Amino acid sequence: LLDLPGIVEGASQGRGRGRQVVAVAKTADVILVMLDATKSLEQKRLLEIELDAVGIRLNKRKPDVVFKKKTGGG
């Protein structure tokens, strides 16, 4: 269980300690997002944008990766 501090706008570009925060989040198997109910949905949108910018895709399917065996060649 890991509690990350709030991510500020621009964290994915290294603003504040943003890169360190999202680097830790990238190692997680499950991300549970808890938001302050008294704040607007802007907080959720900002969080999703910052995480998506570093390759963490929330609520999206895993990429469909297929390996095909070749009979010859390199």
Give the pLDDT confidence of 6-21 residue by residue, as tens digits. 666 776 676 766 677 7
Tell me which amino acid residue 9 is: E
pLDDT at 65 over 80: yes
Helix (H) or strand (E) holding 32: none
pTM above 0.75, yes or no: no
33 with 44: CB under 8 angstroms? yes
